[in-house]
Structure formats: structure tokens, C-alpha cells
Amino acid sequence: MVIAKAWALKKHFDGFPKTSDFDLKKIELPNLKDGGEEKLLLESVFLSVDPYMRPYSRRDMKEGDIMIGTQVARIVESKNPAFTVGAFVVAGRGWRTHFISDGKDLQLLPSNWPESLPKSLALGTVGMPGLTAYFGLLEVCKMKPGETVLVNAAAGAVGSVVGQLAKIGGCKVVGSAGSDDKVAYLKKIGFDEAFNYKTVKSLDEALRKASPDGYDCFFDNVGGEFASVAINQMKKYGRIAVCGAISQYNDYVPQKGPYVQLPMIFKELQMEGFLVTRWNNRREEGLQALLKWVMEGKVKCHEQVTEGFENMPMAFIRMLKGENLGKAVVKV
């Protein structure tokens, strides 16, 4: 018999999440039975902490529920021939150290996953955030070679891939991030222009200086004031992919305009919100493309690894505060 540890939402977040909003629980897992539905025992090896957990917790969870989320897990015991003991999968079973599955909710890592590549990347560059960058750029921004792409939260899990894929696609790339170290990282991984949005005197000027001719594509991870300023610097027929709105997730009161209609009309812009799950049927295509670029060294990955399952709430809070460079993950 295995006792799993799991983090529950003790109290709905009120403004910025606090460690006291979480509760560590112990859950007794039943032994696997021959012929039963539940044929696999898994242990989480890496767990993801993501911005979506903040707004989705309010929408989808009640107090006492185990926190939502995704992990890379190892099969510890199997009575299902499709899954061998020792195999690694991606699962969406929330903040738990161990769990039982019938296999239907598990995705094996791509069979050509190189031994040398950290499996945690299946939660980042070669996982959901990488796919968000891939489909958001190709299908929503519809970037073309020679265009200028703007991305904010650029040193994070999604943003760092957006910038690198736009470079592969022959674009000029401008990124913004919240520290000088992050800006230095962006330049190191090939961004043409990068600035610290927290220290520039004027966001408007910083955007204008980085691309005096304006922007064809804007991959928006942040929303709010940044987006309101950036929209005025779009080129005619520009495309805006509304990926995230992290500047608003912890707000008590919804932010107010400036409103988007005038620049949308005068510049004939397209603005489209999207969820990466829209392309679930093309997941394999996206993962293979990302895996290839990572292995060729064309896409660099950085991870912010927090050690210890007990530190999950802290890792989540730090990510929301911007303390992560690249993908924030927890190693159990």
C-alpha cells in the first residue's frame, strides 16, 4: 500500500496566492487488482507550476480539491501491457506524488525522446508551453519571414520559445521581461531586441525604439496595460495572439481600458484569443518539431527547478512573482 502526498486548495486565492492557501494531505492508495480498471501505479518525478492554475482554480475547483496540474510520472507497477514499469508519461493528475490510473489519461513521452534530454522538458519546451508557442505563432499570428514579432513575458516558458521559433521562421524578434538578467538571457538566445519593462521610463518609447516601424505580430502573454500600449504600435493588418493575461490573474477588481476598438479599426488588426488544446489533434506534429529543434540546438531551454514536493506552493508563488527564468518545474 502506498501513501501519496497531495497539495489541496485549502482556501480560494484572494489576490496574490499565499502558502497558507494550500494544505498538504496524505491519501492512501489501494493495491492494484488483477482484471480491475485501475491497472497502473505511478510516481510523479517532475511537476509543473503554471500561470493558468491561478484563474482555473477559481473557475474549476472548490476548496479542498487537489490542485490541478500536470506531471511527468514513472510507471511503478503495471497490470496493463501497454505500459511497462519504468516508462515515463505525461499525466494531468494534479499536485500528487503518486496516483493510480487506468492508462486512458496518460501520454507516453515521444518514443524517440533522447536519453540525454531531461524528461522535465515534456512539461515545458517539448510540452504544453512549447506547443502554445508553436500553434500560437503559426496558426494565430500566422507569422511570415521578414516580419517583426513582439512577445512579452519573453523569458518564460512560452515566451522564450515564441522568440526562438520566430527567429527560426525568419522574423525580427522583440521581447520584454521583468529583470536585467532575463533581458541578458533573451539576447543570448537570439532575440534581436529585449528590454526590462519594469525599469524603462516609457513602455511606449521602449517599444518604438526596439522597432520604429512597428509590429506585424504580437504574442501577448500579459494583457492589461502592456497590451493597451503595444496595440497602438501594430502595423496595418497586424495580428495579435491573445495567449495569456497574467497581469490580471490576481486582480480583485477588473482593470479598465484604454479600449482596443480604435486601433483595431484604423489599423485593420486581427486579435484572437486561443487555447493550446484547440490543436490537440496536431499534438504529435508540434512535439516532433519542437524536439527536433531542441536536439539541433536551434531552440535553447532553461528550467527553474525547485527541489522537493513540499515546496510546490512556494514554486508556484515564485513563478507568479516572476522569479523563474524559463519553465518553472518542481522535482519531487
Nearer to ligand NDP, 214 or 244 (CB): 244
Q: Which stretch binds ligand NDP (CB under 6 A): 67-75, 156-164, 184-192, 264-272?
A: 156-164
Q: What is the 3-state secondary structure (H, E, C) of the chain?
A: CEEEEEEEECCCCCCCCCHHHEEEEEEEECCCCCCCCCCEEEEEEEEECCCCHHHHHHHHCCCCCECCCCEEEEEEEECCCCCCCCCEEEECCCCECEEEECCCCEEECCCCCCCCCCHHHHHCCCCHHHHHHHHHHHHHHCCCCCCEEEECCCCEHHHHHHHHHHHHCCCEEEEEECCHHHHHHHHHCCCCEEEECCCCCCHHHHHHHHCCCCEEEEEECCCHHHHHHHHHHEEEEEEEEECCCHHHCCCCCCCCCCCCHHHHHHCCCEEEECCHHHHHHHHHHHHHHHHHHHHCCCCCCCEEEEECHHHHHHHHHHHHHCCCCEEEEEEC
Distance (Å, whole) CA 310 – CA 329? 13
Out of 69, 130, 156, 175, the only residue in the binding site for ligand NDP (CB under 6 A) is 156
Q: Which of residues 69-108 bind ligand NDP (CB under 6 A)?
A: none
Characterize 101-134 residue by residue with b for buried, 16 or more Cβ atoms within 10 angstroms of its Cβ, and e for exposed. bebeebebbeeebeeebebbbbbbbbbbbbbbbb
A 10 A CB-CB count for 200 gives 14
Nearer to ligand NDP, 40 or 203 (CB): 203
129 binds ligand NDP (CB under 6 A): yes
Site string for ligand NDP, 222-251 (x = CB under 6 A): x--------------------xxxxx----
274 binds ligand NDP (CB under 6 A): yes
211 binds ligand NDP (CB under 6 A): no
51 binds ligand NDP (CB under 6 A): yes
52 binds ligand NDP (CB under 6 A): yes
Q: Which of residues 164-193 bind ligand NDP (CB under 6 A)?
A: 177-179, 182
287 binds ligand NDP (CB under 6 A): no
Q: Which stretch binds ligand NDP (CB under 6 A): 4-12, 205-213, 260-268, 272-280?
A: 272-280
163 binds ligand NDP (CB under 6 A): no
Out of 153, 217, 290, 332, the only residue in the binding site for ligand NDP (CB under 6 A) is 153
137 binds ligand NDP (CB under 6 A): no
Distance in Å, CB of 232 to ligand NDP, minimum: 18
130 binds ligand NDP (CB under 6 A): no
Contact present, 88 and 72 (Cβ < 8 Å): yes
Nearer to ligand NDP, 41 or 222 (CB): 222
Nearer to ligand NDP, 102 or 181 (CB): 181
Number of residues that bind ligand NDP (CB under 6 A): 30
Distance in Å, CB of 3 to ligand NDP, minimum: 31
Nearer to ligand NDP, 276 or 301 (CB): 276
Nearer to ligand NDP, 83 or 226 (CB): 226
Which has the closest alpha carbon to 35: 83, 85, 79? 79
* Residue numbers at the binding site for ligand NDP (CB under 6 A): 50-52, 129, 132, 153, 155-159, 177-179, 182, 221-222, 243-247, 274-276, 319-320, 322, 324, 328
